[in-house]
């Protein structure tokens, strides 16, 4: 029987991995950057800004919305999306703490042999 081994990791590690996965696609990064520049917009406007079809943009929006990185409000036939800045600030803090911890110890430079 196969099962997910995510339970072996802390909730913070799991959350950081989910967020990293969501941000691992350049289209989703572009969507967040576009929303940040506009504050709010309609999904059709996002598709016009990216070299992707409306359907593909919609799928990326759903991925971001599933993690609550963006929020959407239905207004008739359109959906107005905006950033969840509170969560994005928390994500910023999580990634900053992660990289500070990862770079705090001795590190190998590209020219050094690993001391393993």
41 compared with 90, residue with greater pLDDT:
90
Domain enclosing residue 45, as ranges = 9-101
The count of domains in the chain is 1
> Is 114 contained in some domain?
no
Question: By the 8 A CB rule, do 71 and 39 touch?
Answer: no
Q: What is the pLDDT of residue 90?
A: 93
4 in a domain, yes or no? no
The reply to whether 106 falls in a domain is no
Is 72 contained in some domain?
Answer: yes
Task: State how far the Cα of 86 lies from the Cα of 109, in Å rounded to an integer.
Answer: 36
The sign of the dihedral angle between the CA atoms of 49, 77, 68, 38 is: positive
Question: What is the percent of the chain where pLDDT is above 90?
Answer: 49
Q: Is residue 115 part of a domain?
A: no
**Residue 72 belongs to domain with CATH number:** 1.10.10.10
Average pLDDT, the chain: 85
Give pLDDT tens digits for 99-115.
Answer: 999 888 766 766 666 65
Instruction: Report the percentage of the chain scoring pLDDT > 70.
Output: 86
């Amino acid at each position: 029987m196969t099962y997910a081994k995510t339970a072996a990791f802390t909730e913070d590690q799991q959350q950081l991995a989910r967020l990293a996965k969501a941000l691992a696609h350049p289209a989703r990064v572009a969507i967040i950057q576009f929303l940040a520049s506009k504050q709010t917009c309609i999904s059709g406007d996002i598709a016009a800004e990216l070299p992707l079809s409306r359907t593909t943009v919609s799928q990326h929006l759903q991925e971001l919305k599933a993690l609550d990185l963006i929020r959407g409000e239905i207004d008739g036939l359109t959906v107005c999306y905006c950033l969840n800045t509170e969560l994005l600030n928390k994500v910023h803090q999580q990634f900053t703490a992660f990289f500070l911890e990862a770079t705090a110890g001795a590190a190998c430079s590209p020219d050094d042999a690993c001391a393993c």
